[in-house]
Amino acid sequence: MLEVHRGLLLDEIRTNAYREAIRRLVTPASVVLDLGTGSGILSFFACEAGARRVFAVEATHSADLAAFLEQLPRSIDDYPLRHVLEVRHESFKCAEFLETARKFGVPTVFTDSDEYPSFADVTGDFVYARLMRSQSSIDSGYAAGDLDTWAERARLWADGGEPADLPRIAPVAAKKAKPRDVYIYFISAAKERNPAAAMALQARLRDSRPLKSRPLKSRLLKSRPLKK
């Protein structure tokens, strides 16, 4: 692991790009959370840029995460703000993380990818999904049947339900929630196909007729203790 971080730090183009981006975005009023801090270099850049507070959290530590979430502003100049958490470490796949996120009403990004932690447990009052499996060989990025399935899931989320066929940490709640906003982005993978995939999904969602119902198999993830 040390060699991995050493290699990343020696990549001057990558390191300088992060440093410049943080310098542009961070202000003296910023509160920064560096989840999975690793070498800590990004936290250092945030301090260098003048952030008011910086939380450098290696993997998940609920106390540190809660302290950060308490700092998040709920509005700016009477305009309400919404926040989401996108996690990148397997230790977040536990009940303790869900409890902390739900306590503060902050949604967790559902990442449809084999490379990152993927779980669809709803932790806030809206859903944010990043779909990362578009294929260059398909004009619409996704096969028609897959887009039909995502349209069905989007409708279910919007209606206050939760798809049972996506990977989860905890079982689906027995009681349906209130209707909610749903944000779905096609990103990464075959990037040139993502606009077509988004438009194809939009076209399906304009049709309010429900798709043919079919049984969904639940995929419950094994919970594990937090990595301290």
Sign of the Cα pseudo-torsion (176, 177, 183, 185, in order): negative
Question: What per-residue confidence (pLDDT) applies to 200?
Answer: 96
Contacts for 66 with CB less than 8 Å, ≥ 6 apart:
100, 103, 104
Enter the DSSP assignment of 36.
T
Average pLDDT over residues 203-207: 89
- What are the tens digits of pLDDT across the range 71-97? 888 888 888 999 999 888 888 899 999
Cross-sheet strand order for the sheet of 181-186: 110-112, 126-131, 181-186
Q: Which three-class secondary structure string do you get for 85-146? A: ECCCCHHHCCHHHHHHHHHCCCCECEEECCCCCCCCCCCCCEEEEEECCCCCCCCCCCCHHH
Contacts for 15 with CB less than 8 Å, ≥ 6 apart:
8, 9, 41
Q: Which of 60-64, 71-75, 132-136, 176-180 shows the lowest per-residue confidence on average (mean pLDDT)?
A: 60-64
Q: What band does 208 get if pLDDT is binned at 50, 70 and 90?
A: low
